């Protein structure tokens, strides 16, 4: 199995504030939140980046987005709104090379995507 900090969380080798888990994915609070709600949705299948998702694995990305939307509905902020982000490689600032979706919510969010 690939070994990133997220795989260690999946294997319960390091602690995390887990808010959801099923056979396909795990979701836990980001250790350095960028919004009042900042949860990471991580597939259990080892996939380093969005570039590495094969056409046969498209469902993996679909499950992350559906799990994030379900969480937003359960937690009561779906109607107020939220943002989902997948960083891919250096220019997006990806630091953990296991695919993950950021869910950001809980306040009006600033715009994004401005080059540094």
Which tokens belong to 45? Answer: 């299948």
Among 4, 7, 21, 30, binds ligand AMP (CB under 6 A): 30
Whether 100 sits among the annotated catalytic residues: the reply is: yes
Report the alpha-carbon distance of residue 44 to residue 99 in Å, rounded.
Answer: 9
Task: Give all strands of the β-sheet with 101-105 in edge-to-edge order.
Answer: 18-21, 25-29, 37-43, 101-105, 82-85
For residues 5 and 60, which CB has a smaller minimum distance to ligand AMP in the complex?
5
Helix (H) or strand (E) holding 16: none
Identified catalytic residue from 7, 24, 38, 100: 100
Tell me, by CB under 6 A, how many residues bind ligand AMP: 12
Residues 65 to 104: which contact ligand AMP by CB under 6 A? 87, 93-96
For residues 79 and 112, which CB has a smaller minimum distance to ligand AMP in the complex?
112
Residues marked active site are found at 100
């Amino acid at each position: 199995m690939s070994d990133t900090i997220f795989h260690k969380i999946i294997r319960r080798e390091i602690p995390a504030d887990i808010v959801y888990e099923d056979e396909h994915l795990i979701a836990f609070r980001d250790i350095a939140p960028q919004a009042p709600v900042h949860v990471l949705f991580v597939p259990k299948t080892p996939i380093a980046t969005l570039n590495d998702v094969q056409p046969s694995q498209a469902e993996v990305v679909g499950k992350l987005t559906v799990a994030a939307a379900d969480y937003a509905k359960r937690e009561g902020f779906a109607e107020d709104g939220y943002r989902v982000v997948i960083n891919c490689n250096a220019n997006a600032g990806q630091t953990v090379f296991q695919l993950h979706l950021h869910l950001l919510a809980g306040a009006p969010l600033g715009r994004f995507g401005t080059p540094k």
